[in-house]
Amino acid sequence: NQQLREALYNGSLTKEEYFKELLRLIYRFLFLFTTEERGILHASSKNEKIIEKDFYVRGYSLSRLKDKAIQRSGWNVYPDLWEGCKTIFRCLDRSEPALDLPALGGLFNQSQCPHLDRAQLSNRNLLSAMLNLRWAVAGNSRLPVDYKNIGPEELGSVYESLLELVPDIDFASRSFSFVGIDREGAPAGNVRKTTGSYYTPEPLVQELLKTALDPVIDELLKGWSNGLVSSAEAEKSLLGLKVCDPACGSGHFLLGAGRRIAEKLALVRSLDGSVLPADYRSALREVIGHCLYGVDVNPMAVELAKTALWLEGHEPGKPLSFLDHHIRCGNSLIGVFDVEVLAKGIPDEAYTPLSGDDIACAKAQKKANLSEREQGWNNLYTLFEEPVEQAEKVLVRFHQNLETLDEVDLAAVEHKRKLYAELATSPEYQCIKEASDLWTGAFFAPKKQGKPAILTGDVWRALAGAPEPEFSEGVLALAQQLSAQHHFFHWKLEFPEVFAKGGFDCVLGNPPWDRIKLQEIEFFAAPDPAIARAQNAAERTHMIENLQHGDDADRALYNEFISARRNAEASSLFVHTSADSGGRYPLSGVGDVNLYALFAELFLNLREPKNGRSGLIVPSGIATDDSTKDFFGAISRKGLLVSLYDFEN
């Protein structure tokens, strides 16, 4: 694997991208383990193409690797088993009638694991991995893992485990490992904690679905139940439901919501009230493609959520649904919510100096920005208001048309994917995306001499569709870089068809519960446990400062810490922005902000205001803390609070 090693060594393949390919490979295996055991992998029905299916089972199936792994037969240096796996992946990308394999695309597309698909792997190493993936340790023996009945609980535990893995490469020893793995193999990574991500027990998911989603479905089907609405109309209404989890993780809530809607859809379609498994599976695939939306800041979560939805909604003979336009990677809390805020220009708060900033430079940028706002940039909004509205209408129509496209075969899915990719280069999308990234980026941009300064005028140039030479040098590139780094997410730009109807019918989830302020103990838990175990804050601060005088690794860790602290400060600055200045969190952006409070306000604003419902799992402090009194008081006074259940953990 010389090519793979060289790519990692010269940086053309980063350790993070390599890790993503490894995860996608695991997701491929999970998909195949499950669909093989459920008997739903092949294109034809159960009693058709018996010879082709038998050829697959005996020569290519992963179930045979399960047996080889436990029997330790074939643990040798030859690569034939891995080559067989790669053959399956290629066949599932474009179909293979000789094995009765359908064209699935998606996870099996050649773009997903380009380096691994070209790599070599010995039978010994592959079967060693299969032993751990297919057989669970139980005392002194091993038991087969039941992939046939894998559910959201198991995928949730996979998600938690993955979030704790921090990839690392030692070029000297040619080894790939994970930071902080102890002798027992337990990871001490901090990604899960720093993203505030935790798996939700199934009973809590079901309770939330019952109180938040079921009333929406029941109200929608009331006319059909009373014989006042036809089955065709009820079917259309169900497929028009929009359900979102803004911190979706592995897709647990989305899967639960999808199942409930699909059950009703299959029932509405049935002639005699009986629903066959095939009818339910077909309904679920459609619901997943039309009704479910999710956002998560962690790319691993997004990929696992899509895999979970593909697994649950796979219909034999059909390709994997196109989900990229519904399941998105982004920071739900950071970005422009309403394009109208751009009319006010960039607020003064954005130029508050943060860690590492030049105070004099920040002051000068603030003054220059104020001057641009006061000298008439704001008046230009009237000039560009109509073009911006037209651009929004174009985006809405595009997404609405995308929703109507069938996914009967891989060509149709690929057509949908191509259209969606073209959207990102359209002038309508670009002008709003660039302006929103610039507005948000001003809070995160470094205020230093020699660095580009993002000002209000830049926002308006973007909305006007001005060519790059009209911008200050480096401004657009900086905004793009900051957007990618911090995962800015502009809700109405990403899901315009949803907000054209006012918002989501139901918003569900268990958002992170952590504070925005960087927690030093958690940050250093994996890379430098000694700092995390410091006796007090003063000692910890001293140890952190000493890192900048250490070796290359220490200095790199110090710079990483300073960057993380600055990012937390910038996020705090953004969420504390006043409503008059275009801030998104007038009710919850108060004091030492906790993420769950911000998400609570976001859940409120994402729902369709007339009939939409939101349900979320948060600490009881949402009703008792001083920092959330404005939010809780507002929903109480307006009669928006339907129920509040308090559980002891």
> In the structure encoding, which two tokens stand for residue 508, read together?
């569900």
Q: Measure the CA–CA gap between 59 and 583, rounded to whole angstroms.
A: 60
Q: Which of 69, 174, 62 is nearest to 129 (CA)?
A: 69
* 413-417, 461-465, 486-490 — most confident range: 486-490
Name beta bridge partners: 135.
144
Q: Measure the CA–CA gap between 341 and 147, rounded to whole angstroms.
A: 49
pLDDT of residue 190: 46
CA distance readout (Å), 213 to 143, 216, 607 = 38, 5, 12
Which residue in this structure is represented by tokens 């053309």? Answer: 12
pLDDT of residue 185: 46
Q: Where would I find the H helices in 221-318?
A: 222-225, 231-239, 252-269, 277-290, 299-313
pTM (2 d.p.):
0.90
Q: Measure the CA–CA gap between 473 and 479, rounded to whole angstroms.
A: 12
Pairing, β 243-245 against β 292-296: parallel
pLDDT of residue 155: 74
CB neighbours of residue 632 within 10 Å? 20
Q: Which of 261, 263, 258, 262 is nearest to 305 (CA)?
A: 258
> In the structure encoding, which two tokens stand for residue 202, read together?
């199934």
* pLDDT higher than threshold 80 for residue 293: yes
Pick from 6-15, 356-365, 383-392: least confident: 383-392
pLDDT of residue 192: 45
Average pLDDT over residues 24-42: 92
Q: Which of 488, 441, 449, 156 is nearest to 301 (CA)?
A: 156
Cα 569 to its chain centre, rounded Å, is 23
* pLDDT higher than threshold 80 for residue 161: no
pLDDT per position as a tens digit, 307-354: 999 988 999 888 999 999 999 999 999 999 999 888 788 999 999 999
H, E, C per residue of 312-336: HHCCCCCCCCCCCCCEEECECCCCC
pLDDT of residue 542: 95
Q: Measure the CA–CA gap between 385 and 564, rounded to whole angstroms.
A: 37
* pLDDT higher than threshold 90 for residue 166: no
H, E, C per residue of 606-637: HECCCCCEEEECCCCHHHHCHHHHHHHHHHHH
Name beta bridge partners: 327.
294
What percent of the chain lies above the pLDDT cut of 70? Answer: 94
Q: Measure the CA–CA gap between 393 and 535, rounded to whole angstroms.
A: 58
Q: Measure the CA–CA gap between 309 and 290, rounded to whole angstroms.
A: 12
Average pLDDT, the chain: 89
> In the structure encoding, which two tokens stand for residue 344, read together?
């006010």
Pick from 373-377, 454-458, 576-580, 591-595: least confident: 373-377
* pLDDT higher than threshold 70 for residue 385: no
Average pLDDT over residues 539-561: 93
pLDDT of residue 384: 62
pLDDT category at 527 given cuts 50, 70, 90 is confident
The end-to-end CA distance of the chain, in Å, is: 49
Q: Measure the CA–CA gap between 588 and 461, rounded to whole angstroms.
A: 32
Greater model confidence, 249 or 505: 505
